[in-house]
Amino acid sequence: MDKSPNVVRHQPAVIRSRRETLNGHRSVNLWFTGLSGSGKSTLAHAVEERLHLMGCRTYVFDGDNVRHGLCRDLGFSPEDRSENLRRIAEMVHLFIDTGVIALTAFISPLRADREKVRSIVGPENFIEIYCSCPLEICEQRDVKGLYQKARRGEISNYTGISSPYEPPVAPDLTFDTNTQTVNECIKTVVLYLKEMGIII
Ligand code: ADP
């Protein structure tokens, strides 16, 4: 619902395409999705490092810098997860307008929520990257010790344990992080961005 109907947008002269020209690359959203521990943060930051060294303007959004700030009032119920992603999508949309390559590392377990993100960010800006990894491996990695807690029943609504994860139907890229190395994944993303004409 629109609570501020009389707000009129100012038409800027410095627009996205001018910023992209200045940056020397296009802006886009690399949306990493997958179970906790599947490698989203690792890959988002590793790809960012590579792109940064190539002279690209980048920013990584992940749970830590969003859930402690913009979304600190939200929990992990389906409604709150949905609102969390809606806010992130709106923010990413603004970052796209700044000409930045926005990399996002969120479990984003539900297809419907990811589709909502796609429509807010703009389908032409949204590249869905599925970090595929068997639950057993994610549990073995247990990067944050949260699977153990979830198994003990100390965390409710934990994706993969007590809350569903719906894999993407047609992701733009899929990485099997159980068998592929981080370097292989980075190379594939960079190649994809070149093929799509996003970077040169
Ligand atoms: P998430 O952000 O999805 O919760 P993390 O990136 O925090 O996952 O953790 C993934 C773990 O898996 C890290 O310890 C990382 O080193 C390891 N790993 C092994 N192979 C890969 C790969 N190909 N891609 C990403 N992470 C990998």
Check: CB of residue 52 under 8 Å from CB of residue 58: yes
Check: CB of residue 159 under 8 Å from CB of residue 60: no
Q: How many CB atoms lie within 10 A of CB 178?
A: 16
CB distance 196 to ligand 1 below 6 Å: no
Architecture of the domain whose range is 19-134+166-195? 3-Layer(aba) Sandwich (3.40)
Check: CB of residue 138 under 8 Å from CB of residue 38: yes
User: 27-43 pLDDT, tens per residue?
Assistant: 999 999 999 999 999 99
| Angstrom distance (rounded) from CA 141 to CA 143 | 5
CB distance 61 to ligand 1 below 6 Å: no
Task: Considering the candidates 108, 119, 132, 163, report the single residue annotated as catalytic.
Answer: 108
Q: Which helix (H) or strand (E) holds 148?
A: helix 146-151
User: 160-191 pLDDT, tens per residue?
Assistant: 999 999 999 999 999 999 999 999 999 999 99
Mutate to test the pocket of ligand 1, among 36, 42, 43 (most ligand atoms within 8 A of CB): 42
Sorted by where each begins, the domain ranges of the chain are 19-134+166-195
User: 56-112 pLDDT, tens per residue?
Assistant: 999 999 987 899 999 999 998 989 999 999 999 999 999 999 999 999 999 999 999
| pLDDT of 19 above 70 | yes
Q: Is 41 a catalytic residue?
A: no
